[in-house]
Amino acid sequence: MAFISGMELVLAAPAKLNLMLGITPQIVDGKHELKTVFTTIDLADTLTFTIDEARARSVTVEVTNAPDITPLDIPTEKNIVYKAVSALEESTGYTLQGHLHIRIDKRIPHEAGLAGGSTDAAATLKALAELWGIDPLSPPVLVAAAKLGADVTFFLHGGCALMGGGGEKLLKRLPKPALDLVLVRPDGGVSTKEAYATFDADPQTMPDYEPLVRLLEGGNATPQAIAGQLANNLAPAATALLPAIRTLTDELSATPGVYKALLTGSGSTVFAVCGSAETTTSIAEAYSARGYWAKSCTT
């Protein structure tokens, strides 16, 4: 059904994990060149879009946070979903007709390496593409996505993919692995800008992404085999900024039933690939009882 005036469009905006993240010291157009394997997970924000074409052009954003999410206190004009509307207008030449209200039910924490803002922006681009009858993967939408942030393009594609450039270039779509995961976030977030600055002061060796890509393309890799190929060379920089990341990674890695624990993105969330859903549930409950933000999830 088309997204039309007076109707609601509800979209899920899933979080992501970096199964592999390799940053290089090389900077092109203000961004570090990198390779990363992204996958979406079933932790998601929910965005509800309502358009009233009888009113003048305007955009309002309403954010409802889950009880375990710390609110982000910023003006509406600085919210990335608000910026997404203007970015797509600029790249397509379309102008929003009427009043667009965007309600975000927030479940993905901020500064967590899960790309909560980027996935919300991608959902907004998809909603406007639906409203204007354009392909959400058409060049103007991809241009807008790249301007909004490196991770936004991936969420237009979704699933699992090898991305390059500054993170905005789709290099290869990959089969999505079936993984039981637990996410645990220590107190405090990590600024992506600060993490990259710390990396620049002490660049780390670029991990080889090809073995993981081959495993995923094979279509029958076990979670344990995939866990063996996880890598993130931005983790030392993030850990230098927030040492609790190292403590948490070591704890999770030593927990029975965990194949491997790794920081996602610039953090601060650590994810663990586990042998069963029961294991992820028990670990999440144990860390929640200790005051951590912790979730059991799957890809």
Q: 229 — phi, psi (to 5°)?
A: -105, 5
| Residue 161 identity | A
Q: What is the helix (H) or strand (E) element at residue 288, kind and residue range? A: helix 277-289
The dihedral through the CA atoms of 196, 198, 204, 207 has a sign that is negative
**Phi-psi label, residue 154: left if phi above 0, alpha if psi -120 to 50, beta otherwise:** alpha
Give catalytic residue positions.
16, 151
- Helices 116-132 and 80-92: crossing angle, nearest 10°? 40
Is the CB of residue 206 less than 8 Å from the CB of residue 23? yes
Q: Which two tokens stand for residue 282?
A: 């028990």
Radius of gyration of the chain (CA): 19
Q: Where are the beta strands (DSSP E) in 157-254?
A: 160-164, 169-174, 180-185, 231-232
